[in-house]
Amino acid sequence: GGNQKKQTQLTLHSHVEWLSICWVEYDFYKVISLDAKKTTNIQSFNLRGTLNQASRTKKPNINIPIAELPDELVAIKFKKNSTNTVELYLNNGWQFSFRIHNASTKVEPSLKFDVQFEGMPTEIVLISCQWE
């Protein structure tokens, strides 16, 4: 009854805390090449404020805001009409989907998670570069 609910809340809190601590030790840029569209996308994950700093002689041309990390689990549920995808909703604009699959056409005992961003805070800046 009550103990199981409390234990579940503690476990969920621990998972959110793990995401906040382990997942983001360093700020980073995610570079995605979309070859068919001749586009390169750059996303800034400025979670600790270390990206886009001024040098001794030059200031940044654009402002990369600091995105707030999640610290609360809002909801977790199966994706509508799916039995193998779970959606995770966190506060501060973070949303993920987790799809479990076996990455093979053969029947095998091993399973893998495919994790996708479904939503991000508006502070995650996207720079899109077209190329020839």
Ordered by start, the domain boundaries in the chain are: 2-130
How many angstroms separate the CA atoms of 86 and 91, rounded?
Answer: 17
User: Which contacts (CB < 8 Å, 24+ apart) does range 95-104 have?
Assistant: 95/119, 95/120
Q: What is the pLDDT of residue 120?
A: 94
Residue from 83, 91, 74, 88 nearest 118 by CA:
88
Report the side by side order of strands in the sheet with 126-130.
28-34, 39-45, 126-130
Mean of per-residue pLDDT scores for the chain: 83
Strand partners, 89: 75, 95
- The helices-and-strands tally (H runs, E runs) of the chain is 1, 7
Report pTM. 0.70
Extract the tokens encoding 96. 């993920």
pLDDT at 125 over 50: yes
Q: What is the pLDDT of residue 11?
A: 47
Q: What is the pLDDT of residue 6?
A: 44
What would the pLDDT profile of 15-74 be if each residue is shown by its tens digit? 555 555 455 678 999 999 999 999 999 999 999 999 999 999 999 999 999 999 898 999
